[in-house]
Structure 1
Amino acid sequence: MFTTPPPPTQFATLSYPTPQILLVTLSRPAALNSITTAGHHELHAVWTWMDEEPSIRVGVLTGQGRAFCAGADLKGEY
């Protein structure tokens, strides 16, 4: 299916509604899906992989729980 495997993720869940669509779900609902520095690097690796993967045509970013994303995690947790 893919030429290379997707990068491992801790702060987001990757799924594929169809073979051409990458769905990235931020998975820190207790923190309103705020993004830590490590999460930022993780997402950068995911988008870089998607750009290099010829079978993926579109990437969709969403959030788990009641908030899409509160922005950067200023507490520096995780």
Structure 2
Amino acid sequence: MSGPTLTDIARAAEVSTATVSHALNGTGRLGESTRRRVREVAAALGYGARRAPPRPAARRGARAPPPPGAVTGWRGPG
């Protein structure tokens, strides 16, 4: 079973999902009492922000070079 969603927290705290998002991320223009209430409701419901898995490192040089004699846009020296 998954944990509570932003919608669940918003309903319990009687605010919008945008307000929940701002409160949990520390962004937006929210009063401190609203921010605190949303965080308390989220904690009471057992909300824990899920972290995205780490992205794999970019593979440099993974593309094959163009075939000999191909037009690559390089104009040469001078």
TM-score, normalised with respect to structure 2: 0.32
Q: Higher strand proportion, which one?
A: 1
The structure with the greater share of residues assigned to helix is: 2
Higher RCO structure (Cα 8 Å, ≥6 apart): 1
